[in-house]
Amino acid sequence: MKKKRLIPVLLLKNGWLVQSREFKFYRNLGNPVDAVKRLNEWVSDELIYLNISKEEVYDIRRDDQNYPNRCSFEEIIADVSKATFMPMTVGGRIGNLNNIEKLLSLGADKVSINSKALEDKKFIEQSAREFGSQCVVVSIDAKIINGKYIVMSQGGSKETLYNPVEWAKTVESLGAGEILLNSIDRDGMKNGYDIDLLAAVSDAVKIPVIACGGVGEWAHFAEALQKTKVDAVAAANIFHYIDQSVYLAKKYLYEEGCNVRPCDLMPA
Helix (H) or strand (E) holding 30: strand 25-30
Q: Catalogue all structural domains in the chain, each as residue range(s) with its CATH number.
A: 5-255 (3.20.20.70)
CB 112, CB 70: distance < 8 Å: no
Helix (H) or strand (E) holding 197: helix 195-204
105: Cβ–Cβ under 8 A, 6 or more apart, which residues?
A: none
172: Cβ–Cβ under 8 A, 6 or more apart, which residues?
A: 179, 205, 206, 207
Closest C-alpha to 185, from 143, 139, 236: 143
CB 124, CB 175: distance < 8 Å: yes
Burial grade of 268 (CB within 10 A; 0-12, 13-18, 19 or more): exposed
CB 174, CB 121: distance < 8 Å: yes
pLDDT given for residue 66 in this prediction: 63
pLDDT given for residue 268 in this prediction: 41
Q: Is the dihedral of CA 6, 10, 11, 17 positive or negative?
A: positive
pLDDT mean for each 10 residues of the chain (268 residues) = 93 88 82 85 88 78 63 90 93 96 97 97 98 98 98 96 98 98 96 98 98 96 98 92 80 95 60
Q: Alpha-carbon distance 220 to 182, whole Å?
A: 14
Q: Alpha-carbon distance 221 to 87, whole Å?
A: 20
Query: Angle CA(126)–CA(52)–CA(76) in degrees, nearest 5?
Result: 85
Q: Alpha-carbon distance 183 to 151, whole Å?
A: 10
Q: Alpha-carbon distance 117 to 218, whole Å?
A: 32
Q: Which one-letter DSSP state was computed for residue 260?
A: B
pLDDT given for residue 40 in this prediction: 82
63: Cβ–Cβ under 8 A, 6 or more apart, which residues?
A: 69
pLDDT given for residue 44 in this prediction: 85
